[in-house]
């Protein structure tokens, strides 16, 4: 495979609003044709960063390069970039077709070209049957597709989407996540999506950046971020994690009750320092047969059936919070457990991630 090409380079970009630092020295490369997610809790600077990419805000510091060229002085309408607003901002008195063709008419393209491009994008977004309707005659998901069609028809190099699924209910969100991914693949345009929903970015993104307080904590594939979180915050923010606090030792963490948790200790962590060992719910096994390190006993408190798997809360002496453990329905069939049962649990040292506390 050829090296991925960088479309957009964000180079030590900061943005201050008076005394608030909304974006704090972020450097990131966004590649041609990728689906990139900016993820972080509310107020971490996602929208501000996106608005700088679109040209609606100017960085206080740093540079933004598109194809290697600084676009600081390029106004929003001259950038090959389109920002899709969270509110969709459709024209209520215009039909779907008119909403979608509006931007091309402003560019004064020939009528024939407008017609063929609008037809094509209405087909891609499955809006042909609704072309003559007004926005108020559409469902939330359909309105969202109109907003997308309107942005895509202009063929930007980069489409920026700020919490595009935020207004949709849970079921529709799930369907639209896959729909957006399909669309991105089909049109071959680079997407940068902002979300505060970690599951959403795991599902959709080729790569994702995790932000907190205006700073970049980690940028990688969803798989790498999930399996190798950069720090405790990322480990906690992405998915579910069980934490055991204690002190670092050369080969793991010694829990508050004296139990040794084996795992790879980061080089920066000196023995004796406050540390936390963590393990994902699906990595914990009940009644492990082959393990020597990393086992404990616990009491099953809650048992919840989720179709493919079973989620258990297990009280252990290792942490004040019960462990969350996920086992497959198959495993549960082989050896059923009930709430109140005493169980043995264990996990491999290779599945332990250790962070400074």
Ligand X SMILES: Nc1ncnc2c1ncn2[C@@H]1O[C@H](COP(=O)(O)OP(=O)(O)O)[C@@H](O)[C@H]1O
| Binder of Mg ion out of 47, 82, 142, 296 (CB under 5 A) | 47
Taking CA atoms, 8 is separated from 2, 41, 66, 162, 337, in Å, by 18, 24, 5, 17, 52
Could you tell me if 252 and 265 are in contact, meaning their C-beta atoms sit under 8 angstroms apart?
Answer: yes
Residue 160 CB, shortest distance to ligand X, in Å, is 12
Residue 243 CB, shortest distance to ligand X, in Å, is 25
Residue numbers of the site for ligand X (CB under 6 A)?
A: 17, 20, 22, 40, 42-48
Determine the length of the chain: 357
Select 85 or 102, whichever has its Cβ closest to ligand X.
85
- Closest to 275 (Cα-Cα) out of 295, 238, 249: 249
Residue 42 CB, shortest distance to ligand X, in Å, is 4
Select 47 or 142, whichever has its Cβ closest to Mg ion.
47
Burial of 43 (0-12, 13-18, 19+ CB in 10 A): middle
Which partner, Mg ion, ligand X, none, binds residue 180 by CB below 5 to 8 Å per kind?
A: none
Select 102 or 233, whichever has its Cβ closest to ligand X.
233
Which partner, ligand X, Mg ion, none, binds residue 20 by CB below 5 to 8 Å per kind?
A: ligand X
Using DSSP, state whether 253 is helix, strand or coil. Answer: strand
Structure tokens that stand for 338 in this block: 């009930």
Residue 20 CB, shortest distance to ligand X, in Å, is 5
- The bridge status of strand 81-84 relative to strand 158-162 is parallel
**Options 44-52, 68-76, 132-140, 345-353: segment touching Mg ion (CB under 5 A):** 44-52
For every residue of 257-312, DSSP letters joined together read TS-EEE-BPPTT--TTSEEEEEE-GGG-EES-SS--SSEEEEEEEEEEE-SSEEEE
Residue 210 CB, shortest distance to ligand X, in Å, is 12
**Options 16-24, 43-51, 307-315, 346-354: segment touching Mg ion (CB under 5 A):** 43-51
Could you tell me if 168 and 176 are in contact, meaning their C-beta atoms sit under 8 angstroms apart?
Answer: yes
Select 44 or 255, whichever has its Cβ closest to ligand X.
44
Residue 119 CB, shortest distance to ligand X, in Å, is 35
Which helix H or strand E contains 219, and what residues bound it? strand 215-220
Select 37 or 138, whichever has its Cβ closest to Mg ion.
37
Which partner, Mg ion, ligand X, none, binds residue 255 by CB below 5 to 8 Å per kind?
A: none
Binding residues (CB under 5 A) for Mg ion: these are 47
């Amino acid at each position: 495979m050829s090296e991925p090409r960088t479309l957009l380079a964000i180079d030590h970009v900061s943005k201050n609003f008076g005394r608030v630092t909304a974006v704090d020295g972020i450097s990131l490369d966004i590649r041609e044709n990728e689906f990139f997610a900016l993820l972080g809790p509310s107020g971490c600077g996602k929208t501000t960063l996106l608005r700088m990419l679109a040209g609606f805000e100017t960085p206080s510091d740093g540079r933004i390069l598109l194809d290697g060229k600084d676009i600081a002085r390029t106004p929003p309408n001259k950038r090959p970039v389109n920002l899709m607003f969270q509110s969709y901002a459709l024209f209520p008195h215009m039909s779907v077709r008119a909403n979608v063709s509006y931007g091309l008419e402003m560019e004064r393209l020939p009528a024939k070209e407008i017609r063929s491009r609008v037809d094509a994008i209405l087909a891609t977004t499955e809006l042909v049957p609704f072309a003559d309707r007004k926005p108020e005659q559409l469902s939330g998901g359909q309105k969202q597709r109109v907003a997308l069609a309107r942005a895509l028809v202009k063929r930007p190099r980069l489409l920026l989407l700020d919490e595009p699924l935020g207004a949709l209910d849970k079921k529709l969100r799930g369907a639209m996540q896959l729909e957006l991914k399909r669309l991105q693949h089909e049109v071959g345009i680079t997407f940068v999506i902002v979300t505060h929903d970690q599951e959403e970015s795991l599902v959709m993104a080729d790569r994702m950046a995790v932000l907190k307080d205006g700073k970049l904590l980690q940028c990688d594939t969803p798989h790498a971020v999930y399996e190798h979180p950069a720090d405790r915050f990322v480990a906690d923010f992405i998915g579910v994690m069980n934490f055991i606090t204690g002190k670092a030792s050369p080969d793991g963490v010694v829990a508050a009750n004296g139990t040794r948790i084996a795992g790879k200790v980061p080089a920066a962590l000196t023995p004796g320092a406050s540390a936390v060992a963590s393990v994902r719910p699906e990595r914990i096994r009940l009644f492990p047969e082959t393990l020597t390190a990393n086992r404990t006993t616990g009491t099953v408190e809650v048992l919840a059936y989720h179709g493919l798997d079973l989620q258990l809360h297990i009280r252990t002496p290792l942490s004040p919070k019960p462990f969350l453990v996920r086992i497959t329905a198959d495993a549960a069939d082989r050896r059923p457990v009930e709430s109140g049962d005493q169980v043995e649990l264990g996990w491999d040292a290779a599945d332990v991630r250790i962070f400074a506390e």
